[in-house]
Chains A and B, each alone.
Chain A
């Protein structure tokens, strides 16, 4: 709708997964999963309401995998302490907008990720006017942290990231939700955490 959707399409193309833009509720009927990209959360929140997408998105999320990056993470939250944004409430987290400051503080950071016992890696991640997860409920699995603050969290079939894997061409997060053949597919990660 608004944001860096083109870069997400590029990541899907490298995974040989077909992807289409979702702008109206009928677009949801043909897709197996959804990415809410980076962009401006105030814009997304307004457009979701003015184009009557809130209920269709909530209904879709109840049964389909959804990933949010940056502004998308904000939209995934249960609570956003800023009345300009009304999130979708998919994940039991509180997210603060622009918590790292303005663009001059945007940065690339090395972060260690731990997906399951077999898959750990250091990845260079890019934070653009990034949000911060300030509180979490139970059943939220932290996949990676930066400065003691979670930057990648998984809860059931919802994945929230405060950074932009699509900017650095990182594929593994898209594989978690959308590639059942991957060793890090969310159902397998959830089993690991349940065990």
Chain B
């Protein structure tokens, strides 16, 4: 028998497709998420909108909070560690979280190196803004990729930018001749073998989810139609006026993303969405997506 192989890690990511993964900060929110049909929850101390507002250093969650959420729900529980903070990742593995997010939402611990994720039995998800970044993370062992967007902004524009960029770059790679792929690998800053694999498959070799700024059912539908296989919703649910109803509506819009009538129905009668921020209100040095490389 073999546990924690790369195939087993990617396998769990496959199971999460077509669903919604919700950020939660306590067991009660986790229960609301599970009851709304979330396919997994992300346990974190503060949701991105509050991290942005409060400032300070943002770290891995208290294990007690993670235990509380694991006890409350039966769906997979994910948790975040800081970029490059492999000791936090080791701790999360001993807590038996189902997925570790090496996340730009937390304050990076290492500005040069990400975690070597092949060393773990627990699967990792990492953020990306483009194909090169995605393939560098996959080379390090990520079993799932999510486009970064701009966490805690309630603004979909960056999520769209990153997904469009990724998809355009994937399409470009599929049209290249063999000899052109070496130069492309150099330009992308990604291993040639992974560039060749993307060219052959016409997609990333691992599931590709979207995150960062999804606040409405239509946002979820938009990201699914742009090529996301599942959506992460962070601040969008628990910063809105009626989290339970909004959570359910975003699940429905994700399942039926191609059916505009159902997305319309899901969008009807929801109380206010989170307020959100225009990108011009977020100074360049405060943009979470710039963390990691």
Chain B contacts for A42, CB-based, 8 A = 34, 37, 74-75
Cβ-defined contact, B38 with A43, below 8 A: yes
A47-B255, A105-B3 given; A39·B34 CB < 8 A: no
A 91-114 to B, binary, CB cutoff 8 A, 1 in contact else 0: 000000110011111111110000
A28 smallest CB distance to B (angstroms): 16
Contact assessment for A98 and B74 in the assembled complex, using a CB-CB cutoff below 8 Å: yes
Return B201 CB to nearest CB of chain A, in Å.
Answer: 11
Q: Tell me if B12 is interfacial: C-beta within 8 Å of chain A.
A: yes
A167 at the A/B interface (Cβ < 8 Å)? yes
Judge whether B2 and A108 touch: CB under 8 Å. Answer: yes
Q: Which residues of B contact A66 (CB under 8 A)?
A: none
Q: Which of B92-100, B102-110, B185-193 forms part of the interface with chain A?
A: B92-100
**Residue of A1, A2, A23 with most chain B CB atoms under a 10 A cut-off:** A2
B71-85 CB contacts (< 8 Å) to partner A: 74-76
Asked if A5 and B18 sit within 8 Å, CB to CB, the answer is yes
Interface residues of B in 207-265 (CB under 8 A from A): 229, 248, 251-252, 255-256, 259
Q: Is B88 an interface residue when CB atoms closer than 8 A count as contact?
A: no
| Identity of the chain B residue whose Cβ is nearest the Cβ of A71 in the assembled complex | B15
Please determine whether A106 and B8 come into contact, CB atoms closer than 8 angstroms: yes
Contacts of B11 in A (CB 8 A): 106, 126, 128, 164, 167
Q: Is the CB of B121 within 8 A of A82?
A: no
A179 in contact (CB, < 8 A): no
Could you tell me the distance in whole angstroms from the C-beta of A96 to the nearest C-beta in chain B? 11
Would you call B68 an interface residue if the criterion is a C-beta within 8 Å of the partner chain's C-beta atoms? no
Q: Which chain B positions have C-beta within 8 A of A24? A: 256
Q: Which of B108-139 contact A (CB under 8 A)?
A: 121-123
How far does the alpha carbon of A1 sit from the alpha carbon of B70 in the complex, in Å?
25
- B161 to chain A minimum Cβ distance, whole angstroms, is 25
Is the CB–CB distance between B7 and A70 below 8 Å?
A: no
Q: Which 9 A-B pairs have the closest CB atoms?
A: A103-B98, A4-B14, A107-B3, A40-B39, A46-B37, A2-B18, A102-B96, A2-B19, A128-B11
Please give 19 more A-B residue pairs, beta carbons under 8 A apart, in addition to A4-B14, A103-B122, A108-B1.
A2-B18, A4-B15, A5-B18, A23-B255, A38-B15, A39-B39, A43-B38, A43-B39, A46-B36, A47-B251, A47-B255, A102-B70, A103-B76, A103-B98, A104-B4, A108-B2, A126-B11, A129-B76, A129-B98
